[in-house]
Amino acid sequence: MINSIITKTGCYIPPDRVPNSHFLENVFYDVNGQLLNRPNSQVIQKLHEITGIEERRYAPKEVLASDMAFMAANAALDGVDRESLDYIIVAHNFGDVKADSLRLDTVPALAARVKHRLRIRNPYTVAFDLPFGCPGWLQGVILADYLIKSGDAKKVLVIGTETLARVADPHDMDCMIYSDGAGATLLEATSEAAGILSHVARSDTFDHAFLLRMRASCDPREEGSGLYIKMNGHDIYRYAVKTVPLVVKQNLEKSGLGLGDIKRILIHQANEKMDAAIIRRLFDLFKVKEIPADIMPMILSWTGNSSVATLPTLLDLIMKGKMDDHRLEPGDLVLFASVGAGMNINSMIYRIPERPVA
């Protein structure tokens, strides 16, 4: 039996730290174009209480999403024969966005740009992009698993990269959530009874397709056709807390495992309060009162929400031993979950293999 294991990880965390105080001088408007009637200090404090974000990372002005993807890939491919890659999948939503422009550049595909930067000559290293909202990296891993188990691939590089801060409206208080970054993972075929055990994905477009969308600035004075990322935060919160636990439960049942078998839950780092509520509801579904204090590693407080990059970045930090309280040993079971624009949700269960991740 062929299984898929993660053999290499890498990430790029931008060096520019942006604390919450950075937004004290912003001019914020509500969705109706009216000035917010409370001081920015209160707005910032409320955001911190809800999301847990204390600072976020912004890419240097000269660095694009494809540059970050290349750097994360380069880290993940250390010691690997790059010509042996069968696929390169890059998950993103906005392509390359320059720091001084709202134009989205997606041609050629970011995956093609990464392959070019990696200097891979092999024409059968197929490179393509995957836009799937924040769950894009995890969906890329799920797709890689299908490719490997079908026998079509032996090595697949999956990258999540985003300069999300560049499409955030500085006059919308939600702009404080977004950040930049990239993470990469190499998946390989193995006969070992480990790796990806099961996964479930769903897309709720009938009622929820536009809870996240692109729209004009909240600032009524702004002219032009620039579009920024917008979200119905309360509706997304309710949807995620209700639906993500159901998908995770379905995935556990599909795998024949119980919640008590899981060592860690790696969830998309979007909102600390929301993620905690998702975990609470999940444990309630299994009628478990006590939630282990270390079940859900978090990096959101210092990275912000970098969309498709949050999960592979978190995984890389854990596998490289950079999160002291969160170590994974061979045989440990890890549950991944993500939710985002679409609205899309996915979940995956992974058994840590004997082969160490480098």
Is pLDDT above 90 for 354? Answer: no
CATH 3.40.47.10 is right for the domain spanning 3-193? yes
Mean residue pLDDT across the chain: 95
Is pLDDT above 70 for 261? Answer: yes
For residues 190-208, average pLDDT: 95
Sheet holding 195-203, edge to edge: 195-203, 344-351, 333-340, 264-267
Mind listing the pLDDT tens digit for each residue in 173-184?
Answer: 999 999 999 999
**Domain ranges across the chain:** 3-193, 196-351
Residue 59 pLDDT class (50, 70, 90 cuts): very high
Q: Residue 337: which of 260, 207, 249 has the closest Cα? A: 249
Q: Residue 73: which of 120, 114, 134, 116 has the closest Cα? A: 114
3-193 and 196-351 share one fold: yes
Tokens of 28: 């914020």
pLDDT of residue 348: 98
Mind listing the pLDDT tens digit for each residue in 88-141?
Answer: 999 999 999 999 888 889 999 999 999 999 999 999 999 999 999 999 999 999
Tokens of 344: 């899309």
188 close to 7: Cβ distance less than 8 angstroms:
yes
pTM, full prediction:
0.94
131 close to 93: Cβ distance less than 8 angstroms:
yes
pLDDT of residue 357: 64
Domain 196-351: which CATH class?
A: alpha beta
pLDDT of residue 1: 84
141 close to 348: Cβ distance less than 8 angstroms:
yes
pLDDT of residue 332: 95
